[in-house]
Each structure stands twice: as C-alpha cells, then as structure tokens.
C-alpha cells in the first residue's frame, strides 16, 4: 500500500512539473490591446485586412522600416500570427447597443453633422500575445504602424489606378463627344443661314413679332417667329462652343497628366511601403509642376496633389492610437497555475490507475450468499432394475 501511495505521489509531482514547464513556458501568453483611430468603410477594411494578413507584405514593410523592437524570432512569430488572422477587429461607428438606446433621428443627425460620407467603422482594435508582457505591448504598437502603412499603400494604389482608368475612358469618350459637338454646330449654322433668308424675306412680320426670347426648344420652335428661332440657333452655337472649349481644356489636362500617371504606377510597384509610395508620388508631382505651362495643366497637378495629400493625412497623420497598447499585468487563460493543477490531477489519476492496475484488471466474481457451497455436487443416478 505504501509503495502504491508513493508511486501516485511521484506521478503527481511529475505532472505538476510538466504543467509548470508548459504553463510558465510555451503556454504563457500576455495579450496587449490597442485601439487605432481610423475611419474606414466595410470594403476598405476587407481590402486592408486581407493585404495586412499577407506574410510577404509584412516582410516587405519590415525590410523597408526596420525596428529595434522586432528581431528575427518576432518576425517569424508575427508571420504565423497575421496569417491566422484575428489580430484586427473593426470598431463600428454605431454598435447594436447604441442603435437600441439612441433614437434613429438623432443617429441620422449625428451622421450628417460633419461629413457627407458615412463610414461604417471609426477604428480598428489590434491585439498581440507574447510570453513577455513588455514585448507584447511593443509589437502591438509596431502593428499599428504596419496597419496604417498598409492602408495608405492600398488607398494610394487604388487612387493611382483610378486616375489611369478615368484618363483612358475620358480620352476615348472625348473624341466622340467632340465629333458630336462639331456636327451640332454645323447643323445650327445651317439653320442660322436658312433663318436669315426667311427673316430678310418678311421684315414687317419680323418687327411685329420681335420680343424677349426666354427659351427655344426643339419641341416648341415651330410655334415661334423665325427671328426668335434665329436668335435661339445662334445662342445654341455659343453654348456648344463653350462645351467644346471645356472639352479641349480637359483633354489638355489628361494628355499632360498621362506621363505622370504612368510614372506614378511604376513608382508604386517599386515602393516597399505606403509612406514611401506617398512620398514618391508627391515628389513626382512637384517635379512635373515645372513642366506645366498653362493654367489648365497647373490645375490638374494641384488636383492630383490634393488627392495624394488627403490619403497621407487620413491614413498616416490622423490615424493614431486613441488607446495605447498597455503592458499587460496578468497572463491570458489558461493561466500557469491552472495548467499546473490540471496536469497534476491528470497525472495523479494515471498514477492511481497504474498502481492498482492488478486490482482493476482482475475479473470480478459473481455475488453469492454467505454459507452457500458453490462447489458442484454430482447427483447419483437411480439404479436400473432388471
């Protein structure tokens, strides 16, 4: 009996030792949490999070902006963590609890107060777990800068490729619009010529019907005097010429910006981070401003520069931690003491099973009454009579 009890104690101590090694070793995790202020919509969050969960994106950013808070082991662990996802959680602008407690009219006024754009999320919560609580807070802070940079890079990439797409569509459509305007001008000039002949043929009627011209449309021109139609046709020529001038100005702008857009696409492919891309495109726009000659070209450059500046301000400057990643004081569950107790209990159960294995494996006897003879008695056969 003493031997069995001693054996159970050995199992118990061994289990507690294994639990301590695991609980205070690989299973020990301190989780740090930070909240990044970043107003985005649902589609933006999906794009940013998918790009940020890519291990190649992480390695590229770490190479572009190395940090003393991140060593090779941390980078390997980070790649596994971000690949699994779950380290970012969007914070909705209006939670379910807010929607229940605040009237819909007040919510609508709050949304429309400052901006015409209503974004679904007002920030992103970042989490990271590490055996060292200080390292957990440092790496969570580093992840905040990483997510901001990924968001800026993706937003700038989308903007530059939108420039390219809009420019191609505009140039294709502009040629057709210009031909259409030229045809309309020719038609109106022919009408003006014919109407002048009519007006000169009936001078008395023309003077009697002269008056203020408010609007001359195709559906009512046949009910007004030839002089009014003449004035309307000449006014239409003036309006079409104004549209042609505006179209020519826009074509000049797009042709001037075409080279800039192509260079911006190439610069983005070379950029290893979002901040590097924003800086490269901004610098490129400044260099192109020296080539601008007309006001139209200068206006186009200023418009592109404003869009790039807005991306940098939104995702790099204004996006800050509203809740800094704090150094955690308590490990996350399962806590080391719980791991020790669980392993000690399981080991004790295994020790009991091993110590009394003979008794547990012995086949139990069927129950019987006391004093009953269980031996089989042979009943003698009756004698056969001849």
pLDDT of 20 > 80? The answer is no
Q: Are residues 105 and 198 in the same domain?
A: yes
pLDDT at residue 376, rounded to an integer: 43
Q: Cα separation of 331 and 324, whole Å? A: 18
Q: Are residues 57 and 97 in the same domain?
A: yes
pLDDT band at residue 164, thresholds of 50, 70 and 90?
A: very high
Give the angle 159-165-167 at the CA atoms, nearest 5°. 100
Of residues 313, 19, 376, the one with CA closest to residue 155: 313
State whether residue 59 is helix, strand or coil: helix
pLDDT of 382 > 60? The answer is no
pLDDT band at residue 366, thresholds of 50, 70 and 90?
A: very low
Q: Are residues 337 and 245 in the same domain?
A: no
Residue 382 lies in a domain: no
Residue 150 lies in a domain: yes
Phi, psi of 367 (to 5 degrees): -65, 145
Q: Are residues 326 and 341 in the same domain?
A: no
Residue 270 lies in a domain: yes
Residue 360 lies in a domain: no
Residue 24 lies in a domain: yes
- Could you report the per-residue pLDDT of 185-229, keeping only the tens digit for each? 999 899 888 888 887 887 766 555 555 444 555 555 555 777 778
Could you give the percent of the chain with pLDDT greater than 90?
Answer: 39
pLDDT at residue 76, rounded to an integer: 86
State whether residue 364 is helix, strand or coil: coil
pLDDT at residue 369, rounded to an integer: 47
Residue 377 lies in a domain: no
By mean pLDDT, which of 41-55, 115-129, 166-180, 292-306 is the weakest? 115-129
Q: Are residues 123 and 138 in the same domain?
A: yes
Mean pLDDT of 229-243: 89
Q: Contact 327/142 with Cβ under 8 angstroms?
A: no
pLDDT at residue 133, rounded to an integer: 87
Residue 1 lies in a domain: yes
Residue 123 lies in a domain: yes
Q: Are residues 341 and 298 in the same domain?
A: no
DSSP 8-state assignment for residue 167: H
Of residues 331, 334, 332, 341, the one with CA closest to residue 19: 341
Between the alpha carbon of residue 322 and those of residues 37, 277, 343, 352, 366, the distances in Å are 6, 26, 41, 55, 74
pLDDT at residue 261, rounded to an integer: 93
pLDDT of 62 > 50? The answer is yes
By mean pLDDT, which of 64-68, 293-297, 348-352 is the weakest? 348-352
Q: Cα separation of 324 and 125, whole Å? A: 11
Q: Are residues 338 and 319 in the same domain?
A: no
pLDDT of 74 > 90? The answer is no
pLDDT at residue 45, rounded to an integer: 93
Q: Are residues 216 and 278 in the same domain?
A: yes
By mean pLDDT, which of 2-11, 94-103, 124-133, 167-176 is the weakest? 94-103
Give 245-266 as a 3 state SS string: HHHHHHHHHHHHHHHHHHHHHH
Q: Are residues 149 and 43 in the same domain?
A: yes
Q: Cα separation of 190 and 230, whole Å? A: 11
pLDDT at residue 375, rounded to an integer: 47
Mean pLDDT of 164-187: 91
Q: Cα separation of 137 and 159, whole Å? A: 33
Helices marked H in the chain: 2-23, 42-52, 55-64, 72-84, 96-101, 104-114, 133-201, 203-208, 226-270, 274-288, 295-312, 336-355, 357-361
Q: Are residues 211 and 151 in the same domain?
A: yes
Which residues, other chains included, contact 55 with Cβ-Cβ below 8 Å and sequence gap of 6+? Answer: 79, 82, 83
Q: Which residue has the higher pLDDT, 111 or 360?
A: 360
Between the alpha carbon of residue 51 and those of residues 121, 160, 249, 268, the distances in Å are 18, 17, 38, 15
Residue 30 Cα to chain centre, angstroms: 27
Q: Contact 324/141 with Cβ under 8 angstroms?
A: yes
Of residues 37, 36, 19, 39, the one with CA closest to residue 28: 19
pLDDT at residue 125, rounded to an integer: 94
pLDDT band at residue 26, thresholds of 50, 70 and 90?
A: low
Phi, psi of 322 (to 5 degrees): -85, -20
Between the alpha carbon of residue 242 and those of residues 247, 276, 326, the distances in Å are 9, 42, 62
Q: Are residues 17 and 84 in the same domain?
A: no
Q: How many domains does the chain have?
A: 2
Which residues form the domain of 6? 1-28+332-355
pLDDT of 64 > 70? The answer is yes
Q: Are residues 186 and 308 in the same domain?
A: yes
Residue 343 Cα to chain centre, angstroms: 42
By mean pLDDT, which of 73-77, 218-222, 307-311, 338-342 is the weakest? 218-222
């Amino acid at each position: 009996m003493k031997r069995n009890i001693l054996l159970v104690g050995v199992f118990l101590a061994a289990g507690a030792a294994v639990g301590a090694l695991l609980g205070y070793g690989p299973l020990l995790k301190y989780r740090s949490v930070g909240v990044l202020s970043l107003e985005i919509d649902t589609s933006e969050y999906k794009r940013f999070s998918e790009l940020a969960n890519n291990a190649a994106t992480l390695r590229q950013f770490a190479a572009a902006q190395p940090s003393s808070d991140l060593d090779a082991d941390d980078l390997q662990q980070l790649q596994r963590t971000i690949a699994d996802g779950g380290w970012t959680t969007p914070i909705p602008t209006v939670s379910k609890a807010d929607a229940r407690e605040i009237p819909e009219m007040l919510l609508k006024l709050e949304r429309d107060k400052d901006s015409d754009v209503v974004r679904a999320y007002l920030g992103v919560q970042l989490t990271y777990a590490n055996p060292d609580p200080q390292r957990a807070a440092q790496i969570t802070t580093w992840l905040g800068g990483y997510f901001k940079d990924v968001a800026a890079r993706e937003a700038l990439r989308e903007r530059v490729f939108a420039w390219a797409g809009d420019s191609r569509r505009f140039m294709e459509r502009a040629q057709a619009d210009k031909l259409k305007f030229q045809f309309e001008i020719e038609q109106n000039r022919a009408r003006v010529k014919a109407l002048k002949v009519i007006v000169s043929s009936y001078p008395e009627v023309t003077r009697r019907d002269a008056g203020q011209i408010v609007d001359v449309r195709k559906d009512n021109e046949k009910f007004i005097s030839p002089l009014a139609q003449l004035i309307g046709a000449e006014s239409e020529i003036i309006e079409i010429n104004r549209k042609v001038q505006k179209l020519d100005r826009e074509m000049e702008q797009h042709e001037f910006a075409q080279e800039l857009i192509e260079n911006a696409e190439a610069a983005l492919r070379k950029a290893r981070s979002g901040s590097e891309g924003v800086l490269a495109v901004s610098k490129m726009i400044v260099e192109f401003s020296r080539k601008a000659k007309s006001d139209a070209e200068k206006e186009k450059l200023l418009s592109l520069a404003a869009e790039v500046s807005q991306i940098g301000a939104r995702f790099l400057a204004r996006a800050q931690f509203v809740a800094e990643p704090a150094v955690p004081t308590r490990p996350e569950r399962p806590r080391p003491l719980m791991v020790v107790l669980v392993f000690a209990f399981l080991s004790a159960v295994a020790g009991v099973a091993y110590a009394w294995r003979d008794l547990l494996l012995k086949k139990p006897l069927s129950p019987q009454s006391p004093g009953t003879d269980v031996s089989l008695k042979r009943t003698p056969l009756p004698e056969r009579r001849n």
